[in-house]
A and B are shown apart, each in its own frame.
Chain A
Amino acid sequence: MNPVDVSEIKKENIEYHPMEHLLRMDRIPHIWCPACGIGTAVTAFVSALEKAKPDLDKVSIVSGIGCTGRVAGYMKLDSFHTTHGRAIPFATGLKLANPDLKVVVFSGDGDLVAIGGNHLIHAARRNMDIVVICVNNFIYGMTGGQVGATTPETARCSTSPYGNFEPPFNLPLLMESCGASYVARWTALHIRRLTDSIVDAFNKRGFSFIEVIAPCSTLYARWNRLGSGLDIMKYYHEQSITRHNADPRDLKIDFQKPIIVGKFIDRERPTFIDAMNQRFSAVFGDRYTPYGVPAGPRSDEKEGVNA
C-alpha cells in the first residue's frame, strides 16, 4: 500500500473519527506497534465511557510505565503518567482525597503485577473503589521483550531465551483471593464483551479488575514464532473459551493453549471508604461526618458471594 499524501486530502473530505473527542488527537500517531492489542483495549475503553456515560470531567486515568503505561497520555481526561508499578497507589491517593472522582488505572502486566504486585493485592484487599484494566501481553514490551510474572511456561523471551521455567500468575485467582469486587478476563478481540465488562466495572462500587489478553505483535510474536500480531490476536480469540463464573483455580494460562475468558467475580463488599465510615460512625457517633458519601443510595454492605 502506498503511503497517503496528506496534502492531497481536501479538508471537507476528512471524516472525523467518532472517538476523537475522548482522545488527545494532538498526540497521535501513538507509539504502539501495528496489531498491538493495546489499541483495541483503548477502543473498548472509549466505547465503554460512551456507554456508561460518566461525567467525563470526573474521570481520572492513571498509568504506570511501559507500553500500556502510555494509555493515560492519549486519553482526553485528567490523566497521570506516573512511576513504574505505582499507578495503583497514586490512584488510591486521588480517589481517597476526592471520592467524587471515578479513577481508572490502565497499565500493563509487568507494571501492575510484577513491580506493582504488592499494590495490586492490597488495593483489592481494601476494596479500593477503582477500576484496574490490566493489558496482559505476557512480556515486557517497552524494554525489548523480557520474561515477566505472567509469561506462560516454555514461552521464549529475551531473558528466557531457552523458554520460561517460572510459573506465571493466574491473575483472576489472585484477584479473587485478595477480595476484588469484580474480576473479568477477555482477549483484545472480544471488543464487545470487553466493553461491556468495562461498563460493568464503571458501575461497580469497589475494586474491579479486568485482564485483557493482548498480543505483543513485535516481540512476543517474534521470540515465539507466532506469526503476525493479527494472527496472534485471532488465535487468542479463537482459542478462548467463554466460561462465566468459572472456578478461578482453573484459569491458569499455558503457552498456546485455550484461554478461559469471561466474568468470574461480581460481588458486593464494603469499599475502603464504606468500611472507614462505618467504623468511625460506630465509634464517634454524631461527632463523625461520613466522608465522601455519594448522593445516591449506599450499596448493600453484605459480604456477597460469587455472582
Chain B
Amino acid sequence: MKADPRGVLTGAHYLDGDHACAEGALAAGCRFFAGYPITPSTEVAERIAARFPECGGVFIQMEDELASSIAIIGAAWTGKKSMTVTSGPGFSLMQEHIGLAVMLETPCVLVNVQRGGPSTGLPTLPGQADMMQARWGSHGDYEIIALAPNSPQECFDFTIDCFNLSEKYRIPVLLMTDECVGHMTERVIIPQAEEIDLVERKYYHGDKSKYLPFKPDKDMIPPMVKAGDGYRFHVTGLTHDERGYPVMSWQCQEVLVRRLVEKIKNNADEIYRYEEENTDNADVVIVSYGISSRVASRAIDLARKQGVKVGFIRLIVVWPFPEKKIAELAAKTKALITVEMNYGQIALEVERCAHGKCKTLLVPHGGGWVHDPQDILAKIKEALQ
C-alpha cells in the first residue's frame, strides 16, 4: 500500500527532528492525533495541528497525557492510524495505556522526545534515561517495539516505520528520540507518496457471527475489525479469551500473555534493525543509539586515527533487543562499550547478552548535554589495557 499524497510534503526540507517526525506521521497516514504540550516534544503536536486540517486529520489537544494516550487507542479502533507525542513526565503518565494498547492489541504510535530526568529534570535538555521505562514501564509482562533515530531524516523515516510495525504486529510502537535530535535542524528528504510503502492493517473478512476478536492467525496476530462495522465485539483490559470475554484463570492468562510476548519474540528476527561497521576484526566494539551514536562516531574516528581497531553497532530498533547479535559480537571482540545518556540501561542488556565472553564497559552520562568524545576515547583505551 502506498502513502496518501495528501499527507506527503515531497521535497528537500530543512527541518528539526520534531517537525520531521510530524511529517513522517502525516506521510504514514496518521489521521488522528491527541496530545498534551510538553517540552521538548511540543513542536511535533504544533506541526500536526497546523497540517491536519488540509489533510483530513483530526487533532485534539487533550487535558493531560492520560487522556491523550487512551484517545489514540479509541481512535485506532475505528481504523484510523493514531499517534501521540510526549516527553519524560508525560511518558510516565502514559504507561498505563501502553499496557492497555498491548492488551487490546491496538496499533498506535507513541513518541518520547527524551529529556533529562527523573521528575521534571531538564525539560529543555537531552536524556536517554527512559529506555528501560520504554521496555518495562507499564505493569505486567509484555514485549514492546522501540526505535531510536539519530537525525531529523530518521525522525521522518522511523516514524513511518513505527506505524508499519504497529499495524503489522498490532502493538503500540515507541519512537524514542531525544531533545538533541528533536531540536536539531538538518536536511530532510521527503520522497514521493508512491515511493513510501505502508503496511495495511489485517482485517477480518469472514462470517460476522463467527468473528472472535482475539483468535490469532498462524502468525499469532488476530485480524482486526472496526467499531461500527456490525461485529458487536467486546474488548477488555482484563485477561480475556478469544471472544474477548474476561476469564479470571491462570490458564487463560498463560494463553493470552504468552501469545502477546511471543508474537514479538518469535518475530524478532524480522524486527531487529541495527547498523554494523567494522566489527569483524575489531578489538573493541561500541554499542550506541540515538544522539549518543553520533558522538560515538566522532570518538571512533579519533581512535581509528590512533590505530585502534574499533567496531560499531548502532541500534535502530532498541526493543526487542538484538540478543543474538550482541552475543555474536561478544564472542569475537575484547570489549563491548555502551555509550548512552544514562547511568547504564542498555548497557545492562549488553552485559546480559555478552554473557561474560568479553569485557562490558559503559560510558555513562547523566543527560543535559551529549558525551565528550574524549571520554569515549579514554574508555576505548581503558578497554584495551
Contacts and interface: CB of A to CB of B under 8 A. Distances in A.
Given A119-B67, A288-B53, A289-B56, A94 B97 contact: no
Nearest to A283: B53
12 contacts: A58-B228, A72-B234, A73-B236, A78-B77, A78-B227, A80-B77, A80-B236, A86-B70, A89-B67, A90-B71, A93-B71, A97-B74
B140 to A, nearest CB: 13
Interface in B65-106: 66-68, 70-80, 82, 96-97, 100
A93 B236 contact: no
A100 B228 contact: yes
A20 to B, nearest CB: 13
B78 A101 contact: yes
A178 B58 CA distance: 23
A273 to B, nearest CB: 8
B238 interface: yes
B167 to A, nearest CB: 15
The range of chain A's interface size is: 35 or more
A195 interface: no
B66 A79 contact: no
A57 interface: yes
A256 interface: no
The list of the 10 closest CB pairs from A to B, nearest first, reads A93-B74, A93-B71, A97-B75, A81-B236, A89-B67, A98-B78, A57-B230, A93-B75, A90-B74, A97-B78
Contacts of B56: 289, 291
B63 A287 contact: no
Contacts of B121: none
Interface string A60-96: 1010000000001100111111110110111111111
Most chain A CB atoms below 10 A, which of B74, B78, B226, B238: B74
Contacts of B233: 78-79
A284 interface: yes
A299 interface: no
A287 B238 CA distance: 44
Given A57-B232, A96-B71, 11 more contacts: A24-B234, A57-B228, A60-B228, A72-B234, A78-B228, A78-B233, A80-B235, A81-B236, A86-B97, A96-B58, A97-B58
B73 A98 contact: no
B358 interface: no
Given A81-B234, A98-B228, A101-B228, A73 B74 contact: no
Interface in B210-237: 226-237
B137 interface: no
A306 interface: no
A10 interface: no
The range of chain B's interface size is: 35 or more
Interface in B226-272: 226-238, 243, 245-246
A60 to B, nearest CB: 5
A58 B232 CA distance: 9
B292 to A, nearest CB: 34
A89 B227 contact: no
B162 interface: no
Interface of A is mostly: helix
A83 B82 contact: no
Contacts of A280: 53
A118 interface: yes
Given A81-B238, A96-B60, A287-B54, A86 B227 contact: no
B63 A94 contact: no
Nearest to B230: A57
A119 B63 contact: yes
Contacts of A72: 234, 236
Contact of A86 (B66, B229, B245, B246): B66
B64 interface: yes
A90 B70 CA distance: 5
A267 interface: no
A90 B234 contact: no
B297 to A, nearest CB: 41
B257 to A, nearest CB: 17
B235 A81 contact: yes
A96 B70 CA distance: 13
B62 interface: yes
Nearest to A99: B58
Nearest to B233: A78
Contact of A92 (B54, B74, B80): B74
Interface in A258-307: 272, 276, 280, 283-284, 287-289, 291
Contacts of A94: 74-75, 77-78, 227
Contacts of A77: 232
Contact of B54 (A86, A91, A119, A284): A284
A82 B53 contact: no
A53 interface: no
A200 to B, nearest CB: 23
A57 B208 CA distance: 12
Interface in B25-67: 31-32, 34, 53-54, 56, 58, 60, 62-64, 66-67
A73 B245 contact: yes
B58 A98 contact: no
